[in-house]
Chain A
Amino acid sequence: MASEEMEQLVRREYKQGFVTDIESETVPPGLDESVIAFISQKKGEPEWMLEWRLEAYRQWLKMTPPSWAHLEYPPIDYQAISYFSAPKKPEDRPQSLDEVDPKLLETYEKLGIPLHERAALAGVAVDAVFDSVSVTTTFKEKLAEAGVIFCSISEAIREYPELVRQYLGTVVPRSDNYFAALNSAVFTDGSFVYVPEGVTCPMELSTYFRINAANTGQFERTLIVCDNKAQVSYLEGCTAPQRDENQLHAAVVELVALEEAYIKYSTVQNWYPGDEDGKGGIYNFVTKRGDCRGDRSRISWTQVETGSAITWKYPSCMLRGKESIGEFYSVAVTNGRQQADTGTKMIHIGEGTRSTIVAKGIAAGRSDQAYRGLVKIGPRAKGARNYTQCDSLLIGDQCGAHTFPYQEIGNSSATVEHEATTSKIADDQLFYCRARGIDEEDAVSMIVNGFCKDVFQELPMEFAVEAEALLNVTLEGSVG
């Protein structure tokens, strides 16, 4: 098929682009210590929290944005961003869905996430983040019965200050990187989860993040702590409305797994990728890190990244505890002008630690993506093992895929395996399917889904279905 025709097919409107006009209480663009004080005050935070933020801000001022990633974008004007936006009357938060602004519910409907149905049908507790303030939380009682704390980070700072203080910033230090420092200074919301010793969280926890107010960057902060022998599965899914300006998103997610604890963190990310020139899409600079602090603890990251104009994201595991396990399963799909530099870091510190990395990259259109992975085996990590597999699939001939594996092996008893492949979606595979009567789009989605199978099977069931659907939407018309 001619390349012009292909172009036409690749162009598709973002299906979930719209703006809900709930009035926001927003500070003027710009960042200084008074803005941080305003945020802290708005959130009703204790003094130590404000100090913590200000310290992060002062460190951030001395830092420069990272330039090593395989990404191209104009410099971000941090003074042009508004750092606080909340739906009106945040004190009057609704206690049930009946009290929720119908417009907001409508928004969820358009996204295909009917909150009440979803919550009821799937038995998932939903902590819906709309702009920066959690608007509604469900299934709290059931969780409370089990002793699980699941609330917004702001609420946690007020209600469980000692827990937050004990863990916040211990996995991703404030000065870890430019975006983490910025987040530490200005984060406005996010989730907090604490699962007490010996408890398996009775349901999968889920949060839908949205970005809504114009010109407002969103700085989520998520902290999940699993005490000894506790388990939790956390699902994060995102979509965003269409707009013109690039939006910065710099979240920080910290996971702490104590002895024999298991945290499974799954993400399906579908932020606005921008128009066909890449204009207007979300910039997603996220720091996600898990700390396997206890012996035999396990942290598993599974992500399906289909959105954003730019993705800069490396969910990582610090494997401190003896025989602790880190896992990273990723599918990254880019189309149009999207750019993604993503991967993971597995830092083996404790004895007998193990990690698995399975990364699948799919590039279509004129997109560009890189897998960047670090496997570091410390001198004390005797008998540590890593297995890495990263595969790239190219659709068309104007996209690119790159792999940057880094290995630092600090002791001779470690076993590190790395497998990598890059393939083009083969014409003969397409022909084979079509010669069986399967139309081209279905054939592409069949082949791509097959390619991603190893990762999808790690997702919770309902998420896996969603992920497949998302993949198909993202690649719609990518083959002519």
Chain B
Amino acid sequence: MLEVKDLHVTVEGKAILKGLDLTVQPGEVHAIMGPNGAGKSTLSAVIAGKDGYEVTQGSILFEGQDVLEMEIEERARAGLLLGFQYPIEIPGVKNIYLLKAALNAAREARGEGEIPAPEFMKLVREKSAEMQMDPSFLQRAVNEGFSGGEKKRNEILQMLVLQPKLAMLDEIDSGLDIDAMKVVANGVNSLRSADRAILLVTHYQRLLNHIEPDRVHVLVDGRIVKSGDKSLALELEARGYDWVLEESVA
């Protein structure tokens, strides 16, 4: 589904990713872990198409398509969706309006018509309830005045409505208390399916107690230096990152 090969990325002339390889199959949940500054968020930002990241070498394929040739919105419509670490506030734009515009953009790209209003309302109500969000959130401006936890839940709500093929969640656990984390994790878990993949970018292992990954990768200094199953995450939790680094240098 997603194939990242020998990816080199610079930001303002500084090399951040230095030959990253990653393959994700449908149905899998991958966790990218690593110390601060290793390039974790850069990876998801580059896949989503954020400005300011220069790919100097390598390729990203999504279902055989060259992602780097696609506009940001084309990537999203193709089913590559990024959940933000710091969701953006858009004053005056209703949450429900953004959701509807996004959903219809994706449907249009698939050659489907606009979603009928009653169907949309039903869908959104259902998904908000799943995220334990009061329907009043839908009428509020996008992320404006939301608490940290509310913003993260809102990101997952968008995922539940838009049903991406590959959901990338950047530090979705940061700033969440344990109850909010459970709600978010339940939302993510409900996204799991045989034809969908999930890429979790996280600094801490605790999220992985709630969302069990199939693969865990350790990203250090722009490269994936170690991959394993969920037990690797526990090992990182117990021992920190230094030993992986030493191992990779050796």
Contacts and interface: CB of A to CB of B under 8 A. Distances in A.
Q: Which of B49, B76, B91, B92 has the most CB of A within 10 A?
A: B92
Given A432-B88, A447-B90, A450-B91, A437 B73 contact: yes
B191 to A, nearest CB: 16
Interface string B149-190: 000000000100010000000000000000000000000000
Interface in A431-466: 431-440, 442, 446-447, 449-454
B90 A429 contact: yes
A432 B143 CA distance: 11
Contacts of B92: 449-454
Given A436-B76, A438-B98, A451-B91, 14 more contacts: A429-B90, A432-B88, A433-B98, A433-B101, A433-B102, A434-B49, A434-B71, A435-B73, A436-B81, A436-B98, A436-B158, A437-B102, A438-B102, A446-B90
Given A429-B88, A433-B98, A434-B76, A446 B93 contact: yes
Interface string B67-97: 0000111011100011010011111110001
B90 A436 contact: no
Contact of A449 (B81, B84, B93): B93
B29 interface: no
Contact of B73 (A429, A438, A446, A453): A438
17 contacts: A427-B51, A428-B88, A431-B51, A431-B88, A433-B98, A435-B72, A435-B84, A436-B76, A436-B162, A437-B73, A437-B102, A437-B162, A438-B73, A439-B71, A439-B73, A446-B98, A451-B92
Nearest to A442: B101
Interface of A: 426-429, 431-440, 442, 446-447, 449-454
Contacts of B76: 434-437
Q: Which of A432, A437, A440, A453 has the most CB of B within 10 A?
A: A437
Contacts of A432: 84, 87-88, 90
Contacts of A427: 51
Nearest 8 CB-CB pairs, A to B?
Answer: A450-B92, A450-B93, A437-B76, A453-B92, A436-B102, A432-B88, A434-B72, A437-B105
A435 B81 contact: yes
A450 B102 contact: no
Nearest to A451: B92
A450 B90 contact: yes
B124 interface: no
Nearest to A391: B91
Contacts of B93: 446-447, 449-450
A450 B89 CA distance: 11
Contacts of A436: 76, 81, 98, 101-102, 105, 158, 162
Contact of A433 (B71, B90, B141): B90
Nearest to A450: B92
Nearest to A440: B73
Contacts of A450: 90-93, 141
Contacts of A454: 92
B50 interface: yes
A437 B110 CA distance: 12
Nearest to A456: B92
B31 interface: no
A447 B162 CA distance: 20
Contacts of B75: 435
B90 A438 contact: no
A449 B98 CA distance: 12
Contacts of A435: 48-50, 72-73, 75-76, 81-82, 84
B46 interface: no
Contacts of B129: none
A427 B97 CA distance: 20
A446 B101 CA distance: 10
A45 B87 CA distance: 65
A49 B154 CA distance: 65
Contacts of B109: 437
A434 B91 contact: no
Contacts of B106: 437
A449 B94 CA distance: 11
B91 to A, nearest CB: 6
Contacts of B87: 432
Contacts of B89: 429
Contacts of B141: 450
A449 B50 CA distance: 24
A436 B49 CA distance: 12
Contacts of B71: 434, 439
A394 to B, nearest CB: 15
A383 B114 CA distance: 53
Nearest to B143: A432
A428 B85 CA distance: 12
Nearest to B92: A450
Contact of A431 (B50, B81, B91, B98): B50
Q: Which of B72, B89, B106 has the most CB of A within 10 A?
A: B72
Nearest to B74: A437
Contacts of B72: 431, 434-435
Interface in B87-141: 87-93, 97-98, 101-102, 105-106, 109, 141
B99 to A, nearest CB: 8
Contacts of B88: 426, 428-429, 431-432
Nearest to B52: A427
Contacts of A434: 49, 71-73, 76
A282 to B, nearest CB: 29
A429 to B, nearest CB: 5
A446 B91 CA distance: 10
B202 to A, nearest CB: 19
Contacts of A449: 92-93
A436 B84 CA distance: 11
Contacts of A453: 92
A288 to B, nearest CB: 26
Contacts of A442: 101, 105
B77 A437 contact: yes
Contacts of B158: 436
Nearest to A432: B88
Contact of B101 (A429, A438, A440, A451): A438
A359 to B, nearest CB: 15
Contacts of B91: 450-451
